[in-house]
């Protein structure tokens, strides 16, 4: 063989290697390794650099694997938008993991609506009453439960620094007017009246707008709006938007709130630069580690004060059943049973009790935790006493809510009016279908 031919063969072979590798794809990992151990892949939403949630989650996994030595879970994590991007890619390429974290609303509808996951109702049968009613609402068109909610997410809590209030000679406002009247005094002291960071655009909708819509319109109106019997540009909805505009114009929110990354709101509150802080109940999870024991004594969980012409319930908030694990529709019976063991452990009594200790508000009904952190006790007590309305992003589709979030920012900047953003929401919801 002459050198030229040898060189050609080597050259072609080198070119063919990546092609062959590409064509070969990847061999699926064996589910049953032969020693009776079932291996399942899990895709979870987790920030692995978070010093609180990451070790907490690992603790749950360790407890589960110790109790179930025949089940081996292999985890893959995503966080933020990257989680959803990868989930979509997995779903579209037919490579959905065995167990996957899903959301009850529209956020992961590309997986649930496509029939890629199992309905959990047959597995759950007989346990429905052990969960909060909100968590057992149907997630599919025929009432399917695609994921077993781990938590109840209260999305609007007005965390209050009572030490600062007392120092300023103020008391917890009972009405919206009282709250507005406190603004100048709080700002004069160099403090922020209401800490909230809205750079990501969803916090104003999820933590403020939903609650104000409940107050201004009432739960009944919202049911009608979803059914198409009321409109999102009705006067009462516009009124809720006008309150956000007024709060902005009167500088009640963090200065430059639309430039502040999520997390800054909590930072300012923990550093006692703000008197109030509006965020969801999930923040308690971080507060446990961030607040000192002394701070935990004078920080309280309150509702936004009542507004004039209020149609909704006094001191109500917005809440939704949270995310949870679902399982791949392609699993065999044995694999499905193993997957359910994890799902039930995580969202059922055992995992819920552990997560409650970590500062979560499980969807599974548990007794009030006596030995838990004071902030958890306050959260549980708060959840037990306030009426709850809808969270907008859990009932409206991704595009209308995404546009609405951005429009709230536009309204705060004055580039759109409350009426305009309400009309645009109505138009979009009508176009897409309720």
Q: Which stretch binds other proteins (CB under 8 A): 15-23, 294-302, 328-336, 371-379?
A: 15-23
Q: Among candidates 365, 424, 379, which has minimal Cα distance to 400?
A: 424
Decide: helix, strand or coil at residue 157. Answer: strand
Site for other proteins (CB under 8 A): which residue of 200, 234, 236, 337?
A: 200
- Binding range to other proteins, per CB under 8 A, among 16-24, 277-285, 314-322, 361-369: 16-24
Integer Cα distance of 45 and 52 in angstroms: 14
Q: Report in angstroms how near the CB of residue 150 gets to other proteins at its nearest.
A: 23
By DSSP bridging, strand 38-45 and strand 71-78 are parallel
130 lies in the site for other proteins, by CB under 8 A: no
Figure out which of the listed residues 16, 67, 181, 334 binds other proteins, where binding follows CB under 8 A. 16
Q: Which of 140, 183, 387, 402 is the binder for other proteins (CB under 8 A)?
A: 402
Q: How far is the CB of 115 from other proteins (least distance, A)?
A: 8
**What pairs with residue 40 in β-bridges?**
73
The sign of the CA dihedral 173, 175, 176, 178 is negative
The one segment of 234-242, 308-316, 321-329, 394-402 that binds other proteins by CB under 8 A = 394-402
| 260 contributes a contact to other proteins by CB under 8 A | yes
Q: Which residues of 3-36 are buried (b: 16+ CB within 10 A; e: fewer)?
A: eeeeeeeeeeeeeeeeeeeeeeeeeeeebeeeee
Q: Does 12 bind other proteins (CB under 8 A)?
A: yes
406 binds other proteins (CB under 8 A): yes
What is residue 34's three-state secondary structure?
A: coil
132 binds other proteins per the rule CB under 8 A: no
CA separation for the pair 212, 246 (Å, rounded): 13
Residue 250 engages other proteins in binding (rule: CB under 8 A) = no
Give start and end residues of each alpha helix (H) in 306-390.
Answer: 333-347, 349-357, 374-385
b/e per residue 377-386 (b: at least 16 CB within 10 A): ebbbebbeeb
φ, ψ dihedrals at 371, nearest 5°: -100, 10
Between 201 and 353, name the residue whose CB sits nearer to other proteins: 201
Q: How far apart are CA 347 and CA 336, in angstroms?
A: 16
Contact region with other proteins (CB under 8 A), list: 12-20, 152-160, 237-245, 352-360? 12-20
* 3-state secondary structure (DSSP) of residue 235: helix
Q: Nearest distance from residue 154's CB to other proteins, in Å?
A: 24
431 binds other proteins (CB under 8 A): no
Q: Tell me if 85 contacts other proteins by CB under 8 A.
A: yes
The residue (of 56 and 286) whose beta carbon lies closer to other proteins is 286
157 touches other proteins (CB under 8 A): no
Closest separation in Å from C-beta 289 to other proteins: 20
Residue 253: alpha-carbon gap to chain centroid: 22
333 binds other proteins (CB under 8 A): no
User: Of residues 72, 84, 185, 313, which one binds other proteins by CB under 8 A?
Assistant: 84
- If binding is defined by CB under 8 A, does position 227 make contact with other proteins? no
Which contiguous run of DSSP H or E holds residue 38? strand 38-45
Identify the bridge partners of residue 320 per DSSP, sorted by sequence position.
153
Distance CA 405, CA 105 (A): 16
Task: State in angstroms the smallest separation of the CB of 218 from other proteins.
Answer: 29
150 vs 323: CA distance, rounded Å:
6
- The CA distance from 311 to 266, in Å, is 30
Q: Smaller CB distance to other proteins: residue 52 or 251?
A: 251
324-327 and 274-279: which strand pairing?
unpaired
Q: Does 190 bind other proteins (CB under 8 A)?
A: yes
Instruction: Walk across the sheet containing 157-161 and list its strands.
Output: 192-195, 274-279, 157-161, 299-302
**Considering the rule CB under 8 A, would residue 7 count as an interface residue with other proteins?**
no
Using CB under 8 A as the binding rule, whether residue 267 contacts other proteins is answered as yes
Q: Is 168 in the site for other proteins (CB under 8 A)?
A: no
- Binding-site size for other proteins (CB under 8 A) equals 45
CB of 16 to other proteins, least distance (A): 5
Query: From the CB of 432, what's the least distance to other proteins, in Å?
Result: 10
End-to-end CA distance of the chain: 73
Residue 433 touching other proteins (CB under 8 A):
no
Instruction: Using CB under 8 A, list all residues that contact other proteins.
Output: 8, 11-12, 15-16, 18-19, 22, 81, 84-85, 88, 91-92, 109-110, 113-114, 187, 190-191, 199-201, 251, 254-261, 264, 267-268, 398-399, 402, 406-407, 409-410, 413, 415
């Amino acid at each position: 063989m002459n050198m030229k031919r040898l060189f050609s063969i080597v050259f072609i072979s080198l070119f063919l290697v990546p092609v062959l590798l590409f064509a070969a794809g990847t061999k699926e990992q064996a589910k049953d390794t032969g020693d009776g151990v079932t291996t399942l892949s899990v895709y979870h939403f987790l920030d692995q650099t978070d010093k609180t949630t990451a070790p907490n989650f690992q603790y749950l996994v360790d407890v589960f694997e110790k109790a179930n030595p025949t089940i081996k879970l292999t985890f893959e994590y995503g966080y933020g938008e990257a989680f959803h991007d990868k989930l979509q890619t997995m779903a579209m390429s037919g490579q959905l993991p065995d167990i996957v974290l899903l959301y009850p609303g529209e956020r992961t509808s590309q997986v649930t609506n496509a029939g890629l996951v199992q309905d959990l109702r047959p597995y759950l049968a007989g346990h429905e009453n052990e969960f909060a009613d909100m968590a057992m609402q149907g997630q599919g068109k025929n009432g399917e439960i695609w994921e077993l909610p781990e938590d109840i997410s209260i999305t609007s809590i007005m965390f209050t620094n009572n030490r600062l209030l007392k120092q300023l000679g103020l008391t917890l406002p009972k009405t919206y007017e009282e709250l507005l009247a406190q603004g100048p005094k709080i700002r004069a002291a160099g403090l922020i009246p209401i800490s909230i960071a809205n750079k990501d655009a969803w916090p104003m909708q999820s933590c403020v707008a939903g609650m104000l819509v409940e107050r201004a319109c009432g739960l009944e109106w919202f049911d009608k709006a979803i059914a198409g019997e009321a409109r999102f540009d009705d006067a009462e909805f516009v009124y809720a938007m006008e309150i956000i505009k007024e709060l902005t114009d009167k500088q009640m929110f963090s200065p430059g709130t639309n430039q502040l990354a999520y997390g800054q709101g909590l930072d300012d509150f923990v550093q006692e630069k703000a008197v109030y802080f509006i965020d969801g109940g999930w923040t308690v999870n971080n507060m446990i580690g961030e607040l000192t024991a002394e701070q935990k004594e004078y920080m309280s969980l309150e509702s936004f004060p009542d507004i004039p012409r209020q149609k909704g319930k006094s001191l109500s908030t917005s809440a939704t059943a949270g995310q949870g694990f679902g399982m791949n529709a392609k699993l065999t019976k044995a694999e499905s049973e193993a997957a359910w063991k994890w799902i039930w452990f995580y969202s059922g009594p055992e995992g819920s009790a552990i997560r409650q200790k970590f500062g979560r508000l499980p969807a599974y009904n548990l007794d009030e935790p006596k030995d838990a952190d004071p902030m958890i006790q306050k959260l549980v007590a708060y959840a037990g006493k306030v009426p709850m309305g809808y969270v907008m992003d859990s009932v409206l589709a991704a595009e209308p809510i995404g546009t609405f979030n951005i429009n709230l920012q536009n309204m705060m900047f004055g580039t759109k009016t409350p009426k305009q953003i309400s009309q645009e929401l109505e138009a979009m919801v009508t176009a897409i279908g309720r």
